[in-house]
Structure 1
Amino acid sequence: MSIGERALEQHAAWHGKIEVVSRAAVETADDLAVAYTPGVAAPCLEIQRDPDLSYTYTRRGNLVAVITDGSAVLGLGNIGPIAGMPVMEGKCALFKSFAGIDAFPLCVGTQDVDELVETIRLISGSFGGINLEDISAPRCFEVERRLKEVCDIPIFHDDQHGTAIVASAALINACRLTGRELATARIVFSGAGAAGISIASLMLELGARDIVLCDVDGALYEGKPGMNPAQERIAAQTNPRGVTGSLADALADADVFVGVSVAGVLSQDMVRSMAPHPIVFALANPVPEIMPNEARAAGAAVCASGRSDFPNQINNVLVFPGVFRGALDVRARDISDGMMVAATHAIAGMVGEDELRADYILPSALDKRVVPVVAAAVAEAARAEGLARA
């Protein structure tokens, strides 16, 4: 059977990838009196007096909502919130399996920004953090920005920031391997949506200076007509050399290609036009911008993709379990740029000098060391920035 056929068979057998399991034994009348009425009134009144005690008397401090509107599910597009439920359940299963975090999928039946923000705001008091998932650009930027303004718990759009953290960690190590400095590397993106803009923004935080983003109309530059507000902001921060023209034009003598766009847009000739021993991250799924073996044949020194059947998979599971574990452990108010930088360096640092090679620039997604290392780095950064409440 194909992967798809096996997945259908297994999903039908599972009838859902997560379940609710009681932590309280309810076997006697006394158990019932303590867990429910009349005893439950006591913690209710304590929380009424001090809402922060919800972290003590309920599961809130270890509970994350995984929320989508179904507008950009995987590579499937706008399939709607109900059809996105298998992905959200899967994300919740990963939270539990990798970080011991209880997560609940919420598929919201609106793609109106105001309604989505208000819905999430109204339920946010039940959770310790919110993981936004598969919300289309540019709406995702506005949804996250507004939620951060009205919620006092971490809001994290994984498609943006999880991808940015793992891709940036991979680039740090690819630059180490090829003798480059991030500050002087010429980096060209194919794709100027949620992932591309977020990866570029984090790379700027990490010290990159020469970044050019390209969309279907070519290189973004300040003042270019037809850009959305998020693209206008990133265009004002990037492309210091004023590059114009197509993706092929932008790639001439570039050190790094980062693809978060569509299959097949990077040719072998484009790779050959780049600087010697270039770095190629072709992250479109399920079919990348160029297959890694084709990129290597054209001269790429280091290749990465989003696929598990090639080395150097850029996989968000290296990021979100540890980031949320660290944020929840210190009851952080937010997940800041500084916390994301800390997570990036933590992941990159897990590949030692004696381990680093062209086919190993990131730890495995199944490496059980990753979550505690990332969590510790994120928690320390939250404390340093005054965002921790515990």
Structure 2
Amino acid sequence: MSELEDILKLHAAHTGVLDIKSNLAVTNRSELAQAYTPGVSMLSKEIEAHPALKSKYTMSGKLVALITDGTAVLGLGNIGPAAGLPVIEGKALLYKDLANINAIPLALNQVDTADAVATIKNIALSFAGIHLEDIAAPRCFEIEEQLSQVLDIPVYHDDQEGTAIVVLAGLINAARVVKKQLTDLKIVVNGVGASGLATARLLYQIGIKNLILVDQHGVITATDMNYNSYQRNLAKLLQTPTNLQGQPLAAVIEHQDVFIGLSDKNVLQSQDVQKMNTQPIIFALANPIPEIDPAVAQQAGAAVIATGSSKYPNQVNNILAFPGLFKGLLSSNLKRVDAQLQQVVAVALANVISQPTAQQIIPDVFDERVVPTVSHAVQKYSQGQK
């Protein structure tokens, strides 16, 4: 039996990987009266008088909406909302298994930004948080921004905040390994979609100013109309010289300390790594095939290598962020995943590895310390905001 047949058989056996589990037994009239009618009518009257009580007395206080339109699925591209469902169903499973968080996968048709925002806003009363997934840029930026302004619950885009947190955590320890100051690093970010832009933005906000953004049309500058306003605005903040506009990766990789790839397979060559500063750090995070084969990068002189794959050491995976993050958000009643919180979580994740090495700059995805560490960091941050 092929791997595909195995996977299809597994998922078909249970019609997916999730079920709804009841918390109350209903085996007699008394239990029925308390769990359903007439008991719920009294509950409904209480919530009518005090709407905030719905989060205490219904599962809306512990349920996360996992929403995708399938326009930007990692490694697959725009495959549509129905085909995006297996990804978010899998993440809902991870939420439950790793952090005991209840999440429900929802497929959203590929409507315009205003309609997407209105739809999610109109169903938000049922949820304690919104997790956006696999929505293409720039719509993902617009949707998250607008929802954050109109909803009083956390709105989180895993491709943005989740990736940024885990990359920063890995970079903190990579800098320790090569004995370079984090904020002094010269970094090229290749691939500036949702993940790349959010990562670059977080690195800038923590004090890393030597950043060059490269995408399919070359180096991004503030005046390059090949790119969207979010990309151009960050290039403006970075004061990227206009004479670099459109330059390819190979032209700007020289004398860089770090390559962060959130782009496509095999875009970084051995000679590119050799042109970088001593002890270069390579984060080749494209999946399933990285921007450069780790063995090739190592042979070219890379001191620290991370990928998005479980086949190699230093797997940069959002599993390290989102389960513990939402566990902390829900337990602390924190409403925003801002840049400062992202930094706090990244530092906590990095510190799980007390003595980082080139082979271990980030915790393993099954490290049992990760979820409680991240959750505690969120709760501690929340206390400082009150």
> In the alignment, what sits opposite 2:82?
82
Counterpart Cα distance in 1 of 2:336 and 2:300: 43
Question: Equivalent residue for 1:250?
Answer: 252
Q: CA deviation at 1:112?
A: 1.4
Contact 1:61/1:127 (CA < 8 Å) preserved in 2? yes
Q: CA deviation at 1:148?
A: 0.4
Query: Are the aligned partners of 1:61 and 1:331 in contact in 2 as well (CA < 8 Å)?
Result: no
1:270-329 alpha-carbon deviations (Å, 9 max, x no partner):
000000110000001111100111100100000000000100000100000011110000
Tell me how far 1:110 sits from its aligned partner. Answer: 2.9
| Corresponding residue number in structure 1 for 2:140 | 140
Q: Which residue of structure 2 aligns with residue 322 of structure 1? A: 324
Separation (CA, whole Å) in 1 of partners of 2:305 and 2:2: 26
Q: Which residue of 2 aligns with 1:364?
A: 364
Say which SS state the counterpart of residue 83 (structure 1) adopts.
helix
Give the corresponding residue for 2:170: 170
Q: For 1:291, which of 282, 290, 293 is the aligned residue? A: 293
Q: Report the Cα offset of residue 108 of structure 1.
A: 1.1
Q: CA contact under 8 A between 1:340 and 1:378: conserved in structure 2?
A: no
Q: State the SS of the aligned residue for 1:177.
A: helix
Find the aligned partners of 1:89 and 1:348 in 2 and give their Cα distance: 28
TM-score normalized by the length of structure 1: 0.96
Q: Within 5 Å, which residues of 2 pair with 1:1-390? A: 3-239=3-239, 244=244, 245-353=247-355, 356-386=356-386
Shift of 1:64: 0.3
Q: Deviations over 1:149-206 (max 9, x none)?
A: 1100000000111011001100000000001112111000111111110001111122
How far the C-alpha of 1:48 sits from its partner, in A, is 1.4
Structure 2 segments unaligned to the other structure (5+ residues) = none
Q: State the AA in 1 paired with 2:300.
A: A
- Cα shift at 1:141: 0.3
Structure 1 residue matching 2:171: 3-state secondary structure: helix
Query: Counterpart of 1:294 in structure 2: which amino acid?
Result: V
Q: How far, CA to CA, are the matches of 1:295 and 1:171 in structure 2?
A: 17
Residue 224 of structure 1, CA deviation = 2.4
Report the number of matched residues. 384
Q: How far 1:5 sits from its partner (Å)?
A: 3.6
Kindly provide the amino acid, as one letter, of the partner of residue 30 in structure 2.
Answer: D
User: For residue 200 of structure 1, what is the amino acid of its counterpart?
Assistant: A
The structure-2 alpha-carbon separation of the partners of 1:205 and 1:2, relative to structure 1 and needing over 3 Å to count, comes to farther
Alignment root-mean-square deviation, CA: 1.3
Could you tell which deviates more after superposition, 295-304 or 36-45?
Answer: 36-45
Q: CA deviation at 1:70?
A: 1.3
Runs of 4+ in 1 over 3 A off after TM superposition: 1-5, 239-243
* Contact 1:219/1:243, CA 8 A, preserved across alignment: no
Relative distance call for 1:165 and 1:9 in structure 2 (3 A) is same
Structure 2 residue identity aligned to 1:328 = L
Contact 2:166 2:321 in 1 (8 A): yes
Alignment partners' CA distance in 1, 2:362 and 2:349: 7
| 108-117 or 191-200, larger mean C-alpha shift | 108-117
Instruction: Report which stretch shifted further, 208-217 or 242-251.
Output: 242-251
> Matched residues in 2 for 1:239 and 1:189: separation?
15
The Cα shift of 1:207 comes to: 1.9
Shifted more, 44-53 versus 361-370: the winner is 44-53
Per mean C-alpha deviation after superposition, the further-off stretch among 103-112 and 377-386 is 377-386
Deviations 1:337-369 (A, max 9, x none): 22111111110110002xx11110011110111
**Larger displacement relative to structure 2 (45-54 or 196-205):** 45-54
Give 3-state SS (helix, strand or coil) of 2:319's partner. Answer: helix
Matches of 1:135 and 1:83, distance apart in 2: 13
Structure 1, unaligned runs of 5 or more: none
Is the contact made by 1:67 and 1:132 (CA closer than 8 Å) also made in structure 2?
yes
Query: Residue deviations 1:77-100, cap 9 Å, x none?
Result: 111111111111101000001110
Deviations 1:18-73 (A, max 9, x none): 00011111111000000011011122111112222112111222210000111112
**Alpha-carbon distance in structure 2 between the residues aligned to 1:2 and 1:232:** 46
Distance (Å, rounded) in 2 between the aligned partners of 1:300 and 1:3: 34
Write the letter of the residue equivalent to 2:265. Answer: A
**1:155 aligned partner, one-letter code:** V
CA apart distance, 1:243: 6.6
| Mapped contact 2:71–2:110 kept (Cα < 8 A) | no
Retained in 1: the 8 A contact 2:222–2:240?
Answer: no
CA–CA separation in structure 2 for the residues paired with 1:243 and 1:287: 32
